[in-house]
Structure formats: C-alpha cells, structure tokens
Amino acid sequence: MTDSTPSPDETDGRTGTQSAPADAPPVHRIETTVDWPPGHAACYLVDADEPVLVDAGAPEDRGAEELREGLDAHGFEPADIAHVLVTHPHTDHDGQVSNLIDAGDPTVYAPAAAVERLERDPDDLHEVVTENARVVGVPEGLREYVVSQAVESLKRNARYCPPEAVDVRLAAGDAFEAGGVTFESIHCPGHQADQFAFAATLGPEADGTDTDGATGDAGERVLFSADAVIEPFRAAALHAGLDDGTFDSVSASYRCYGSLRSYSFDRVYPGHGPVFTDYAGAIERSIESLDDLLDDVESTLAEVGPAPAFEVANTRADIAEEPYVLFETIGACAELVERGRATDRMDDGVRVFSD
C-alpha cells in the first residue's frame, strides 16, 4: 500500500463516535535481543485501526523469531502490520523491515535523510571515510579496517531496510497519519545524524509495568524517542560515524536535547531501557552526561595533547573494545574548540587538538 491517510469513513467501528482521546489506541512493547547493553532493542506496536509498528527490532533469524513471538503475544502476526515507522538506520531498529515487507507489504516511513544515506554509493562513502579517518588521526595500518567497517555497516542497513521500499520519506516537523493516528516527526541528531523521534497522542501502555494511570484513559502525549532520550543512560553520540559530519556528533547532541526541552510528554517509549514518564529529567541527565564527556576529554587532552582525536580517544578507552568512544571523542574535541576550551590546527592533513 502506498497511501496511509484513511478517509473519515474508513474507521472499523471500534472507535464509535469521535471522542478521539478517550479511544486513543494502546501501545504494546516488544523486545528483541541485542548483544550489547542493555541486551535488548524495543519496538512498539500501536494497536490502532491499522496496526502500526514503531521500529522493527533486531536483525537476522533471532530478531525475526522474537518479533513474531512478541506480535503473537498480542494476537498479531507480521502480515498484520500495516505501517512501519523507522526512527533511524541502525540494525537494531531497522532489522526486520525487509521481512515485514515480505510478510504483509506495510507502508514504510523513514526520515528522508536516512533513506538518502542508505542510497549512498559505497565508493563515495569509502572515499569520505578514508579522508576523515586520516584527519582524525587513525593510524595508517588501521585505516582500511575502519573504512571497511563503515562501508559494511551501510550495506547491511540497506539490506535490512531497502531504500526503495520506503514509501514515505519524512521531513523534520512533518505531521503524518498512520493507521488513524497522527504522528509528528522530531529530528534528533547526535546519536545518529538523521534520527527522528515520533510524537503522538495515545492510550496508556496496555501491558507495560509502568501504567501509573496518571492521565487515565483520556490519552497521553507520548514520544517514541528512539535512541535520543533513554533512561537511565545516554545512547552514544555516533552521529555520522566517520562520514561527513564526523566532528558534529557532540554539538548535534546538545542541539537535539536543547530543542527537545521545548516539548513535554506524559510518557516516553525509548529504543532501549524501560518506558518512563520523567521526560524532562531524562533530558537534563543526558545533557549532564555530555558535559561530563567534555570534561573528561578536556582533561585527557591536557594529559596527551597536542594530539589528534584518535589518540585522545585511544587514551580514554580501548577503541577496539568500545568503538563508540572514538566518535564521541572526535565530536567532543571539536566542541571544546567551539567553546574556547581547546585549540586546533592542521598538521599535514591531521587535525591536532591542544588544551
């Protein structure tokens, strides 16, 4: 199907006369296993007139099986899903898009910029990442490995969420209807450059542990926050990896939380960790975590500088074990310069930072 907008006479009768908030559809949480903390990725089934799935779980057979079981627990099967909303092109969120298309041909929605990223020519990506790897100071012996990781990741995501299968390319701020529910896209860069969170008015979580009933059945303002706002931790600022924008990971994260501060939500359905209600608190904690990151990178820079971002990162952690530290450190070095807390210069094609 290509058009998601239901006409007013297409309701199935369940909702009766229009008192929309009181009949706001409930949400079911489905977890699929991932091999890194916190061990799961959550997607959400909105039990609307036409079932909507926000994100599509982890990839491969294990993810497929767990998604099938999760849907089955609520009386659905993959072929029933009419709409799939993809928050961002990471495999633990788009892992089953392709399988859902095979099962039931849902309408697929994704951020337009994410789709363009998936359409990217791998050779072009290879070239940009090779150059950026040099600029951030990845040693020559490691460079080809790092570059191939980036290219493989692009190819993997394009397989799980084929760009040509995305029916609706969303722009930031778009309001759109899926399954009779109006969603609003909110651009949340930093963790991933193109990431969207989706806001909506929905009923209370049907089966979660966190049904405090604060707003009863009257409908709540909820946010499907993807990896932007999570409790009790902050998802890493990976942003663009070593692609264009590699130095923006931390500034984009601050920008994201700054703009999210202007919203308020009754309940948050995150991509990882528990469903929670203290939206404002989670944002402030995330900003504090970024502040801590800057402090840590600043003191490392005082220790090892002048140094390229790779060396600073490698001092902070074993990058082979925790590759995200590289992307956060690159962004933090640039942000420290932006704030006047560090300086930088180009030295033979490498960006070198000093405290």
> Which residues contact Zn ion by CB under 5 A?
90, 227
The residue nearest Zn ion at its CB is 90
Shortest CB 90 distance to Zn ion, Å: 3
Greatest alpha-carbon span in the chain: 70
- Phi, psi (rounded to 5 degrees) for 185: -85, 135
Shortest CB 187 distance to Zn ion, Å: 15
Burial tier of 46 (Cβ tally within 10 Å: 0-12, 13-18, 19+):
buried
Nearest to 280 by CA among 235, 237, 229, 233: 229
Q: Which of 90/351 has CB closer to Zn ion?
A: 90
Shortest CB 3 distance to Zn ion, Å: 29
Q: What distance in Å separates the CA atoms of residue 281 and residue 278, rounded to the nearest whole number? A: 5
Q: Which of 83/90 has CB closer to Zn ion?
A: 90
Q: Which of 191/267 has CB closer to Zn ion?
A: 191
Residue 239 DSSP label: B
Shortest CB 30 distance to Zn ion, Å: 17
Report yes or no: 249 and 238 within 8 Å, Cβ to Cβ. yes
Q: Which of 201/246 has CB closer to Zn ion?
A: 246
Shortest CB 229 distance to Zn ion, Å: 13
Report yes or no: 91 and 80 within 8 Å, Cβ to Cβ. no
Q: Which of 29/90 has CB closer to Zn ion?
A: 90
- The residues near 141 (Cβ < 8 Å, ≥ 6 apart) are none
Pairing outcome for strands 181-187 and 168-170: unpaired
